[in-house]
Chain A
Amino acid sequence: MKSDKSKLTFWLLLSPLVIWLATLIVLPHVGMFLVSLREKVGIREYETSFANYAVFFNEPLYWNTFARTAYMSIAATLLTLFIGFPIAYYIAKLTRGRTKTTLFLMCLIPFWVSELVRTFGWMILLRETGVVSQLLQYAGLVDGPIEMLYNDAAIMTGLVYTSMLFMVVPLVTTLDSLDDSLIEAGYDLGGTSFSILREIVIPHAMPGIVSGCIVVFMLSLGNYLTPILLGGKDSLWFTGLIYSQFITRFNWELGSAFGFLLLGLSSLIVFLGLKLSGQSLSKTMAR
């Protein structure tokens, strides 16, 4: 009797998650996968084949964009890590009480406005008639107006800025749990700042580093607004391709195939990342 009741409670508690997963994640993906396998042979005539996937591999533009999206995302992830780590270390280890809360909150503040507005903010800063350009001219460092938008550096800036919080939060959490006396013991035993960072701090923070990297990488890879707005029309981002297949060209079949390739790519890179760092997904996400 009691076990029946607890079983019922368990399923009731689980049901929102199951419904959410089934209707919003699994079903659409199954549908999309089926669509991606359809090849249009005539008006309203379809055959099951891998032709859509073949298109991707036969057209250099597609897989070049694909590769570019991958390495740009990896670069953005690493850059975020290098910038985020010192920030997280400072917040977690060198500040106390109110300062800590304030700094943490300051990382959160950009997220109070929408991503679109934030990206437009960067455009105001970086465009030819923008703040930075004006400032450089005023300071006499450059002769004419300079355009800082619509290049890879601008995309990178936007990506790093957008995902900083998702790197800093898991890092602060893991670094917080590092006992200060471990660092002191390291110094006491003759360690230098560098060797302590390498042998004690980073191994301890590894789950945080990996989970931060996974989240940032996924966000960058799937980002649409930032690369389009800051990169301009010449910047190619794989989500942009998917968008144009679906919306501009009404080619849902190819768009679906692209979507699945992107899913495969992100899974593969996360898998490789986990293998390289010797972490497991359950270990990093459980922290």
Chain B
Amino acid sequence: MPSTPDLECRAISKSFKDFKAVRDISFSVPQGTFFSILGPSGCGKTTLLRMIAGFQEPSSGDLLIKGKSMLNVAPNKRPVSMVFQHLALFPMMSIGANVGFGLRQRGVNKSDIKKQVEQVLERVGLGGTSDRAVSSLSGGQKQRVAIARCMVLEPDVLLLDEPLGALDLKLREHMKIELKQLQSEFNTTFVYITHDQSEALVMSDQIAVMNHGVFEQVGTAKELYYEPQTAFVAGFVGEANRFHATVNTVKDGVLNLKTPEGKSLSSLDLGQGLANGNKVDVFVRPEAVRLSRIAKDVAKMGNTGTGIVENVLFNGANSQLILRDATNAASMNVALPQTGEFRDLAVGDTVHFGWAPEQTRCFAHQGN
């Protein structure tokens, strides 16, 4: 029998005047999961988080924590804690007083507070700092104090509102790993919202991709990356080349597509009911495309082409080529393998490229 999930939302919605920020979202997060909500800014993810924390009332739907409805429960009575975007550490208090704030509100006696504060600071690697001022800490340490301040209350769910946004790149990379470690150490359910896909992909057990107030897809990082279910997910998670095309033929689970310029592409049919003449968006990841100097090498890959190198964007392991397709003049990003083979590739060179139909995703074209 599955235990009750830590957090469950049932058809939760929030509207402001004439704008629906969150529309009928339902999901549940099992105990001990690192659950991320990934979406561009303005997609409603902050509103959703604030509803879970209790700062905003849902317009409709229900919100349950450990099976208990949280509607009409004030934020200070909910078993959730939140790490704010800018951490919101209290500058007027010492580190120990910050961490002990929640315990003081619960009326825990002083010596117990001191013990628990010291313990939790020890766990986040900041033992013995409780008398120091918050301003004496570095960005990463402040992060850990903010987490300690929440974890000392042993919340059922910890909410994190893009807490890494203010850190510099190096520290952010480091904190990603540290956050994940802290999460498995405390074994608490984390709900993490971010617009940075790499944060979500690296840390999460489950990711929900959110757009225009709805969840486009919920799944593991791999599922989102390899099997995007919607055009938005395909475009938002990871990088992708995007083409417009029209369905030409459907045969044996393979779609034959034609771009407006007349190039023919093939893609797997995912059973979306696409028929001849449908307009589609085709997505190919830059790293799924194979490059070769010899046409024969890629000839059997299903989708092939010859391109002229328009630009080389060298960025170490993340280097990319911008190719101009010789037949249809479409621009295409291709990951540059760092095996040394293409080291001397220069602007104006001609290369052959190809990718398999399995690596191609196509979705019915919507509006724009």
Contact = CB atoms under 8 A, between A and B. Distances in A.
Nearest to A201: B92
Contacts of A204: 91-92
A189 B74 CA distance: 11
A192 B105 CA distance: 8
Contacts of A188: 53-54, 75-76, 80-82
Contacts of B75: 184, 187-188
Contacts of B114: none
Interface string B56-77: 0000000000000000001111
A191 interface: yes
B101 A199 contact: yes
A191 B76 contact: yes
A251 interface: no
A259 B7 CA distance: 70
Interface string A187-200: 11111100100011
Most buried by B among A184, A203, A204: A184
A176 to B, nearest CB: 16
Given A181-B84, A192-B105, A195-B105, A187 B92 contact: no
A268 interface: no
A186 B101 contact: yes
Contacts of A199: 90, 92-93, 101
A201 B291 CA distance: 62
B106 A190 contact: yes
A189 B153 contact: yes
A189 B150 contact: yes
A184 B76 contact: no
Contacts of B104: 195
Contact of A179 (B76, B86, B106, B150): B86
Contact of A200 (B53, B84, B92): B92
- How many B residues touch the partner, as a band? 20 to 34
Interface residues of A, number: 17
Contacts of A191: 76, 101-102, 105
A201 to B, nearest CB: 10
Nearest to B97: A199
A187 B76 contact: yes
A272 interface: no
Nearest to A193: B76
Interface in A15-72: none
Nearest to A204: B92
Nearest to B81: A188
Interface in A200-215: 200, 203-204
A184 B55 contact: yes
Contact of B88 (A181, A190, A192, A195): A181
Contacts of B142: none
Given A189-B101, A195-B105, A203-B92, A181 B86 contact: yes
A183 to B, nearest CB: 9
Contacts of A192: 76, 105
B328 interface: no
Interface string A104-139: 000000000000000000000000000000000000
B23 interface: no
B352 interface: no
A203 B77 CA distance: 24
A80 to B, nearest CB: 24
Counting from the closest, the 5 A-B pairs by CB-CB distance are A189-B102, A185-B88, A203-B92, A181-B88, A190-B105
30 contacts: A181-B86, A181-B88, A184-B55, A184-B82, A184-B84, A184-B88, A185-B82, A185-B84, A185-B88, A185-B90, A187-B75, A187-B76, A188-B54, A188-B75, A188-B76, A188-B80, A188-B81, A189-B81, A189-B105, A189-B153, A190-B77, A191-B76, A191-B101, A191-B102, A192-B76, A195-B104, A195-B105, A199-B93, A203-B93, A204-B91
Given A184-B75, A184-B82, A188-B75, 17 more contacts: A181-B86, A184-B55, A184-B84, A185-B82, A185-B84, A185-B88, A187-B54, A187-B75, A187-B76, A189-B150, A190-B102, A191-B101, A191-B102, A192-B76, A192-B105, A199-B101, A204-B91
